Every structure is written in C-alpha cells, then in structure tokens.
Amino acid sequence: MSEPHYSSTTTGWREWVSLPDIGVSWIKAKIDTGAQTSALHASAVEEFSREGETWVRFRVHPWQRSEDDAVTVELPLHDRRTVRSSSGHAQDRLVVLMDIELLGHRRQAEMTLASREEMVFRMLVGREVLGQGFTVDPSASYLGGRPPREIRRRNRGRAEGGAEAAHSAANSPLPSSAFMSSAGNLESRPPSGDAPPRGEQPCRRSRRS
C-alpha cells in the first residue's frame, strides 16, 4: 500500500535514486518536469508470455559511462505508449511498473523502457512520480546526498579498489534513510558553471557526479 502524500519534499534537478524492486541501489537520474512518465535506459528488450500474461525481459545499465553491473529484469507489461520527445520525434515504448526511492521516499512509477545510450542520464524521473509528494528546485542538485566515492567513480567508468569491491558496494541494500544520512555530502546549489541544462543533451563529455 502506498504511503499518503501529505507534504512535499524538495528535490534538485538531478538526484541519485535507487530501484529496490530490481536490486539497483544507485542510479543517477534527471528530474524532468517536462516528461509525464519516467524513463529508464534498457537494452535487449523482449516480450514473452508467462501464464497467459505478457511480460518483458530487459537489461538495466546503472552506470552512465560503463556497461558493468548490468541487471537482467523480468516484469509484467503494464502498457504501451507513444512518447514524443522535445524535438517532436515519436517513439513507441513498453511500460512497466517499478518502485523508485527518491530522497528516502519510495514511490511506484510507470517506467518507459528506452535506449538512452547517448544521453547524459540513464534515467528520467517524470511528473507522474513527482506528483506523489515532490517539488523541484531547478537550481539545486543532489539534495538527497551522494553515494560513496567508489560508486561515483564506478559511474564515470573509473572503478577504484577492483571490480569486485565496486560491484559489492553498488548492489548493497540501502537503509530507508540512506539518501539523507551523509550530511557532509549535501549541497543546495550546483557548483559554479554547472547550471541546469535547458534541455537534455547527448553525452559528450565527462561531468561531475
């Protein structure tokens, strides 16, 4: 049962979130008020039948600059949508239901599966989730805190301490307060020269995690 949403939690324009249903403890997401439905980078997407119902099998890649630690997921098909990008390009996508943990709050999301290989963020959090108790400060980043340094390096494709250690940290379960527990890592404003983008851009260069 979903918890009631009596107040709003402020989120920045980008945050680290988790996908507890599929065992992804850390993934960097753009908070996108221009998108109704959340979107997740997925590869090897295929439909199959299970007990008379349509399911979807796909692979999730949590890191922005690495294919390491990919997770194979199987979920019931929730819907099919035609999604139109800001440039006007329409694309048919499959939709699954999946929980998102954002700033310590767990919400169910309608998640479209898309190829985001060339985009800066492997995930977008859309208005359908944000309407469940969140407001967005477009001048802020990482109000829920940041993961340990080895996770941030893993996200940039520069794992530290060996692949086994990074994989273990990436998939370790998080306490419900994990995103708010590292007060020393919180920031209310993006660093100088790191203003929110006017529109999502293809990934061209390394960015600070």
- Comparing 35-49, 71-85, 189-203, the range with the smallest average pLDDT is 189-203
- Comparing 12-26, 86-100, 154-168, 192-206, the range with the smallest average pLDDT is 192-206
The secondary structure of residue 122, as a DSSP letter, is S
Average pLDDT over residues 147-163: 79
pLDDT at residue 82 tops 90 = no
Tokens of 125: 């959090």
Average pLDDT over residues 36-55: 94
| Residue 78 binned pLDDT confidence (cut-offs 50, 70, 90) | very high
Quick one: pLDDT at residue 180?
33
pLDDT at residue 131 tops 50 = yes
Distance CA 179, CA 140 (A): 15
- Comparing 16-25, 42-51, 58-67, 199-208, the range with the smallest average pLDDT is 199-208
Residues 6+ apart with CB under 8 A from 100: 17, 18, 19, 38, 106, 107, 108, 109, 125, 129
pLDDT at residue 177 tops 60 = no
Taking all residues of the chain, what is their mean pLDDT, rounded to a whole number? 78
Average pLDDT over residues 152-156: 91
Q: How far is CA 64 from CA 80, 86, 185, 203, 208, in A?
A: 26, 22, 20, 9, 11
